[in-house]
A = this chain, B = another copy of it.
Amino acid sequence: MIETGAEPESRAERKLRTRRAILDATLELCADSSLTALSLRQVAKQVGIVPTAFYRHFDSIESLGLALVEESFDSLRDLFRDVRRNARADNDVVDGSIDALVDHVHRRRDHFGFIARERVAGPRSVREAIRREIELCERELATDLALMTGTDTWTAKDLHVLSSLFVTVLVATAEQIVSTARPEQEEQIVATVRTQLRMLLIGVYQWRSEA
């Protein structure tokens, strides 16, 4: 069904390839709308398999969604890794982070769009999974922030509060970039978030945690 140029494939390889095709087809099909509006048969048609073959890989659209959550957060963790690297290399943390953000969103527009949408509109279990993953990101970022200059007097709570704000802004920016096609509008978005983070950082440098 799936045409390979040549080369014999093991059964496991073929299965994996079909699985990938299902994941990709799903990302493409729900690029606008949502998982909850997606039918198993649409996915099957897009992949080029018969509807029932879907069950060989996932037992529902919902569990397919959970697999996509994992995959999408791999992309997001990649982003975090890059941000961390840029934070060391670059003098200006803000610019480095935003560049990394834009770069990763461009590369995996599908993943970031998926998270943005299903985070609020997906099936309950998918929403919960995304919520959990985002909390992990916030915690991870909080420990990174603790290593930065000037936060040595901060309480753990305040660190997490700040981390959560960064993640909120990050998610909102990713959302905006995903949902715009025009490059000049994207520059606008980037310029805006850059200023916003600078305003915020001024506050951060002055902040002293209470008792």
Contacts and interface: CB of A to CB of B under 8 A. Distances in A.
Interface of A: 32-34, 36-37, 116-117, 119-121, 123-124, 127, 158, 161-162, 164-165, 168-169, 171-172, 175, 179, 192, 195-196, 198-204, 206-207
B37 A161 contact: no
A81 B201 CA distance: 30
A117 to B, nearest CB: 5
A34 B37 contact: yes
Contacts of A123: 33
A120 B202 CA distance: 31
Contacts of A199: 161-162, 165, 200, 203-204, 207
B36 A196 contact: no
Contacts of A175: 120
A162 B37 contact: no
A32 to B, nearest CB: 6
A161 B190 CA distance: 11
Contacts of A196: 161-162, 164-165
A27 to B, nearest CB: 15
27 contacts: A32-B124, A33-B37, A34-B36, A34-B37, A36-B36, A36-B37, A37-B37, A116-B120, A117-B120, A120-B120, A120-B121, A161-B192, A164-B192, A165-B169, A165-B196, A165-B200, A168-B168, A198-B203, A199-B200, A199-B204, A199-B207, A200-B200, A201-B203, A202-B203, A202-B206, A202-B207, A206-B206
Nearest to A196: B165
